[in-house]
Amino acid sequence: MPRNCIRETSPKENEIILWKMDLPNKERRSPENGPSSARPCCSSLKMFLVALSFAYFAKALSGSYMKSTITQLERRFDIPSYLIGVIDGSFEIGNLLVIAFVSYFGAKLHRPKIIAIGCLLMSLGTFLIALPHFIIGRYKFETSIRSSVNSTNSLSPCPVRSSVLAAGPSASSMPSSGCEHESRLSMWIYVFLGNILRGIGETPVQPLGISYIDDHALEENAAFYIGCVQTISVIGPVFGYLLGSVCAKIYVDIGFVNMESISITPGDARWVGAWWLGYLIAGLITLLSAMPFWFLPKSLPLPERRLDKYSPERTSFIKDSPLLEHKYQADEPANFLEMAKDFLPTLRSLLGNPVYFLYLCVTIIQFNSLIGMVTYKPKYIEQHYGQSASKANFLMGVINIPAVALGMFSGGVIMKKFKLSIMGAAKFALGTSLLGYFLSLFFFAMGCENASVAGITRSYNGTESLYKVDSSLLASCNADCQCPETNWDPVCGENGLTYFSPCLAGCRTSHGSGVDTVFEQCSCVAVGNHTASVGQCNNTDSCHRVFLYFLALSVITSFIISLGGTPGYMLLIRCIRPQLKSLALGFHTLTTRTLAGIPAPIYFGAIIDTTCLKWGQKKCGGRGACRIYNTTAYRIAYLGLTLGLRTASFFLCILGLVVLRRHVRRQERNTFANGGTGAAAGELQALRKEENNSCNSDQCPRTIDYDPEQETRL
């Protein structure tokens, strides 16, 4: 409207029109946003979406790469699964230290710059994780195989008068020289501390990034934008697991050892890949993700369509309303002490929302199931289906994770297309979760037999099943060899049995070198020429078809369950007051990571450890990593714990759905009661809907006449 027309209107209309025209200018001329005549491209919401998506990609890549290296770290540092769970949970410990304060105070400060600082800390922590490789000695594994190609001397793994293995770095059962130094130095501590630093740095990315989008995007686009960002965060693990697959094929000390002297392959339980290399790559990518956020403004101009929606009468109502009279005032510098005093009352108000509280309880239980399952799924594929670490990571990256990404994206599209209400989103999320749960029950039927290992799962004659934890490996056929029972150096006999070592197979002579070594005169191999070859016997042919069924069902269930991810996330945002979005998201992340992210990998790992049949021994004494598991018990424990937790969560889901329905109906009654006539009720309802969209989390003060019964938003 031209400015000369303002003089022809009434004073009341002048006030309305001037307020409507000056507001965008005021927003655009704020110190953070700069002049409106030339809005820089970096201040647009799309630029922030690109930057946040890249940050999500970087943090998801490094996080998934961490999970892809759990077996590598377990073997390299010779530690049990529960300790790997402690290392994995240290990321959540870092979140726990700062997330509540970052989410609350960060919403009132410059959110993009806080996210940039977080990305820098993530990068530093990722580099710290790789540090042990450069200060620890070369990796040494147990072997009785001659490593020199030019060697022609006959090697006897089991000489009659020998008490130990003839060769190998762990030939002696007594602590070797240098143990006093190594026993004081636990290199996995660096991985633990680096992962904590990663957790601290990741803290502001999710709550501040999502709330920033929801504050500045139109309501019909918010779910779609968040779905896109969440999809990118799921694509990150694709590259993380692929990177883990590539690095797992490369020997840990590549470039420092003669590869011809390495007598093990990536499929061997002693193989350790170049785990450190992926952390250097992930750290560099995370460092690059911090750059764009330094050039983004604290806040963006209000979308033009938000202001165009208001008629002059409604604009007058907004300005005159006591509930919203301070809504569009410019930000004033907040006193830190006042913000701190307001923290506990605000948190009490948030937890007083029954819908939010029940949602929190449900996600805590389901995250326990999800985090425990994802952390040990590559290891489950390795141990149960006889796949190498490289192949397990590759399958996770190219099959499982894309299904999750497609499900997350499809969930956002469905919510946008069908304009799901808060009740529709809740029902959709519950339905997809239930369907995926029932399909997951079929995993129990997709089992494979245990590996046939003499003295552990089978008797030495191969006829009797044993399954005795840490049972003796000595028998009459190898009694004269006086073999150590801790050195895992498997060989495959002609009879199809795997023996713990050539010595325990009773082999007297050998010829060849490296992986081509053949052991002869093996007294425990009672068939054929009494020979044995290097490595475990490949008894997984009968399990190949079952493994294909497992992969297919895993893809289907992952897609179905992830369909409800975005609607469930929007339910979290819409069930609380707009100004509490950042705190609600931050506290949700805090509690789920404290009560799920930290304990789940630890107790999942501890339960998996109970299925171990034979433990290794560290060079300097003490229990090391597990050498062989009871795969049947492993499957029951792993799947039973995963699905048992999800079963418990459904009871709370049903209760939450009932409470949500009551709140929606109560809000509808209160809306019509406060509005008087039907038209007035519709006007008020529309106004409240727009208020939810345009209210910035640090611009909307709490009102005196606020009714907690009306927190649920449609």
DSSP of 292-325: GGGGS-SS-PPPHHHHHT--HHHHHHHHH-TTST
User: Measuring CA to CA, which residue among 83, 81, 257 is closest to residue 169?
Assistant: 257
* Token pair 């293995």: residue: 165
Asked whether residue 109 falls in the same domain as residue 56, the answer is: yes
**Which secondary structure element, helix H or strand E, spans residue 534, and what is its range?**
strand 532-534
Give the three-class secondary structure for 2: coil
- Count Cα neighbours of 495 within 13 Å in the Cβ-side half-sphere: 20
Residue 398 is given by DSSP the state I
- Count Cα neighbours of 168 within 13 Å in the Cβ-side half-sphere: 26
Q: What is the pTM of this model?
A: 0.73
Asked whether residue 280 falls in the same domain as residue 251, the answer is: yes
Asked whether residue 456 falls in the same domain as residue 406, the answer is: no
Asked whether residue 531 falls in the same domain as residue 566, the answer is: no
CA gap 684, 675 in Å, rounded: 6
Q: Which residues are registered as beta bridge partners of 573?
A: none
Q: Is residue 652 part of a domain?
A: yes
Supply the pLDDT for residue 549. Answer: 92
The number of angstroms, rounded, from the C-alpha of 652 to the middle of its chain's C-alpha atoms is 24
Asked whether residue 280 falls in the same domain as residue 375, the answer is: no
Asked whether residue 369 falls in the same domain as residue 505, the answer is: no
Q: Domain boundary at 510, 538, 566, which? A: 538
Residues of the chain with confidence (pLDDT) below 50: 1-43, 148-153, 161-175, 177, 180-181, 183-184, 307, 309-333, 676-714
Give the three-class secondary structure for 623: strand
Q: Is residue 28 part of a domain?
A: no
- Count Cα neighbours of 579 within 13 Å in the Cβ-side half-sphere: 15
User: Measuring CA to CA, which residue among 271, 319, 303 is closest to residue 18?
Assistant: 319
Q: Domain boundary at 613, 636, 661, which? A: 661
Radius of gyration of the CA atoms of the chain, in A: 31
Asked whether residue 114 falls in the same domain as residue 198, the answer is: yes
CB 655 within 8 A of CB 661: no
Q: Which two tokens stand for residue 636?
A: 């029951």
Asked whether residue 439 falls in the same domain as residue 573, the answer is: yes
CA gap 489, 453 in Å, rounded: 12
Asked whether residue 460 falls in the same domain as residue 434, the answer is: no
CA gap 232, 54 in Å, rounded: 8
Supply the pLDDT for residue 277. Answer: 94
User: Measuring CA to CA, which residue among 362, 364, 363, 377 is closest to residue 555?
Assistant: 377
Number of domains composing the chain = 3
Q: Is residue 176 part of a domain?
A: no
Residue 257: give the domain boundaries.
44-140+186-300
User: Measuring CA to CA, which residue among 567, 554, 516, 601 is closest to residue 80?
Assistant: 601
Backbone angles phi, psi at 333, to 5 degrees: -55, 125
Q: Domain boundary at 475, 504, 538, which? A: 538
Asked whether residue 355 falls in the same domain as residue 370, the answer is: yes
Supply the pLDDT for residue 6. Answer: 40
* CATH number, domain containing residue 295: 1.20.1250.20
Compute, in degrees rounded to 10, the torsion defined by CA atoms 181, 182, 183, 187.
Answer: 130
Helix residue ranges per DSSP H, 174-250 = 179-184, 188-202, 205-216, 219-249
User: Measuring CA to CA, which residue among 50, 53, 83, 71 is closest to residue 602?
Assistant: 83
Supply the pLDDT for residue 588. Answer: 85
CB 531 within 8 A of CB 519: yes
- The length of the chain, given as a count of residues: 714
CA gap 496, 6 in Å, rounded: 95
Asked whether residue 346 falls in the same domain as residue 495, the answer is: no
CA gap 622, 78 in Å, rounded: 10
Q: Is residue 495 part of a domain?
A: yes
Q: Is residue 651 part of a domain?
A: yes
Asked whether residue 214 falls in the same domain as residue 68, the answer is: yes
